Chains A and B, each alone.
Chain A
Amino acid sequence: GNSVTQMEGPVTLSEEAFLTINCTYTATGYPSLFWYVQYPGEGLQLLLKATKADDKGSNKGFEATYRKETTSFHLEKGSVQVSDSAVYFCALVAPWNTDKLIFGTGTRLQVFP
């Protein structure tokens, strides 16, 4: 079946460090891929998306590239801030199936000053 695998957290970084959170997926066909962020005590916010191979999604300094050959959608940011501390979820939609979101387990990011 369709699934998403994320690196386990927590990821602990100092401010201005480079961030990578790995995400790989299993799906037949061409899913749409998403990153959502959940700040403490809040709902999920859509961070970025990519709908076809080699697309790059970007928002607020975060980027992720849809890699069909490696079935990956790794999240990156060049310089993290304390305010980026949150839980990040990778997700896919397999539209030929249903348009429900299938989530990874989430990766907690902690950024220290």
Chain B
Amino acid sequence: DSGVTQTPKHLITATGQRVTLRCSPRSGDLSVYWYQQSLDQGLQFLIQYYNGEERAKGNILERFSAQQFPDLHSELNLSSLELGDSALYFCASSGRGSSYEQYFGPGTRLTVT
């Protein structure tokens, strides 16, 4: 168990809908990262937050947004969903002085029908 939790585990929704994925980092970790894993794109970095502030952005679509709250949990919001958004979404966290180690949650499997 990495100490990173994600909910829900599975999500099935229709095209055009909006969903929210939730992540709680390991206790004490200030950084949260979101990654997307799909068959055609592999593992892709989406976005990073550090102590409530956006730190880095990757290949994140404009339809997607994220935030990190004062209690350090994070949410990834996906809107106007398309079939191609079906993927596994992982959250990871890291702490200060961690030599850039990131610890991953179990993921949320999103299926868009």
Contacts and interface: CB of A to CB of B under 8 A. Distances in A.
Interface of A: 32, 34, 36, 42-46, 49, 51, 89, 93, 95, 98-106
A62 B5 CA distance: 27
| Size category, B interface | 20 to 34
A104 B42 CA distance: 8
Given A32-B100, A51-B99, A43 B55 contact: no
What is the predominant secondary structure among interface residues of chain B facing chain A?
Answer: strand
Interface of B: 2, 4, 31, 33, 35, 42-43, 45, 48, 55-56, 58, 90, 92, 94, 99-107
Given A34-B101, A43-B106, A100-B45, 17 more contacts: A32-B99, A32-B100, A42-B106, A43-B2, A43-B4, A43-B90, A43-B105, A43-B107, A46-B101, A46-B104, A95-B100, A99-B31, A99-B48, A99-B100, A100-B56, A103-B43, A106-B42
